[in-house]
Structure 1
Amino acid sequence: MRSTEIIVAEGNEGPYGVAVGSDGEVWTTLVHAGAVARVSRDGVVSRFPIDADGSRPSVIVAGPDGAMWFTRNGDDRIGRVGADGAVSSFEVGAGSAPYGLCVGADGALWFTLMNVDRIGRVTVDGEVSSFELGSSGGFPAMIAADEDGLWFALNQGNAVGRMSLDGAVVLHPLPTEGAGPVGVSAGGGVVWFTELQAGQVGRIDTDGKIVEYPLPDRSCKPHAVAATNDGGCWVTLWGSGSAVRLDAQGAVVEEILLGEGSEPHGLAVGADGEVWVALEIGVLAHIHA
């Protein structure tokens, strides 16, 4: 595979999250600029400013209503960019620090609240609620949905959690101490997660069985993960400036070098198999299938 780059930001504006919309356009959050950017199918970049100091837009997903939704980690809101380009938001709790975001099987948006150990839910009409995780200082990070529930990474709790749509929670401690899980993704019949501090990628099944796969460079800091239809996954390696593809057995079968100091964060795989990576140096990397 080969990769190309699209410049979407300047200086330290920091592309962070990335998602592919239902129309094939690609979106990214500019965490330090307080804006969201869109790349059209023909490569034209448009920006949507949030006009709120310190909003820190982070993770972004395509919503079931045709809009793009994103967490605002700095000012405790969930943002929305409608198909008409209108930007709006919903408050989710002072000091809660929303971060991970996904669309649940119920058609609502689900998100992690890092500072208060809760999982939040917002409907497309803006109705907000939240659920306790039963942990203290767990620092929930990314969240993913499957057909009947949710999976999330507890970064400081060293666990992967499972939540039903009615709020029942089961936590699965990781075998490796201090692993620092961040990313999580469900797809292809499996759930993958990253262990940032341990330099490993893990897989968990619905019964809670966990298998960990050490990466060749244990200092590579795996961050985001995206499950693929063949049972494998893509992973961004923040520390080594690359992205890798794992097969269903956890073996690294491909590595795409993105550049020293590129700091890859967000990751998305489109319906066409094309891979997009947000690089903090100001570009989106497009890995061609």
Structure 2
Amino acid sequence: MTGGVLLPEDAVAGDGAIAAVVGERVVTVAEVDRRLRLMRGGPLAARLPHPDSAEGRNLRRWLVQVMVAEALAEQEAARLGLAPEHPGPPGPLPAPEPLPAPEPSAPGPCPQSGGAADVPGAVLTLAGALRTGGVAAAVLAASPAARAVCRVLAAGREPAEDEVRDYYRRNLDRFTTPETRWVRPFGPVRRGEIAGPIEDAVFAARQGETVGPVEGPGGPWTLVVERIEAARREPYAAVRERIRAELAKENGERAFARWLDARHAGSVVLAPGHEHPADPAQPDADHRH
């Protein structure tokens, strides 16, 4: 979403200055300042760029795009007569994805209500941002109205059986657990987690066998292979619904991102200084061709 008509310069000065116009809704500079203070007062404040740097100004521009997307989603939810859960003033933006990110076992067609996504600090995943763009991913994580609109857009986008089965075939590694050996004193070990003569000895041994001394870091090692768990793969029937739900969720998110881009192009006017960070016309743009 790098487009959008710009307001004249005099709209961005003085009291009541405007950052953006979204249909009949005006996003003021004061509102942007309040949201920015929430971010800079949060637990990730130390990671944010200095406000007077180019990166800091682009952070502000990005925040305006999220606020605009929230307003678009709220307007669409109202137009469709949807009732987002937990209505109220916007809270802090969601926290970035923790490492490692948990993988939900059975996601719905869009981020679901009643869970972590409905409270401040909901997870914004890198995978979601890469799939839909950072603004769409952020607003889906932060806004109940956006999730309500997404669920409407996701209707009828269930993946076909061939698509689900093909995903399973192309991603067998996701559903395969490699052979695991429980080795004293290391604990559970898989190939590639140790190296050299120690790995060779461990994976050549039988269950219950003691191997060594084997030369390794710090001197010779004596190891006991206490238990061997054979490699296993979840059958297609066991994971079919999980894959189907995951693909439906991704289809819904992509549909929401396309809707957001189209609605933004036709309904949003941005004030100078509040362009999308990737807009090559703004002075702090750092990605040019």
Does the TM-score normalized on the shorter chain lie above 0.5? no
More helix by share: 2
* Higher relative contact order (CA closer than 8 Å, sequence separation 6+): 2
TM-score by length of 1: 0.27
TM-score by length of 2: 0.27
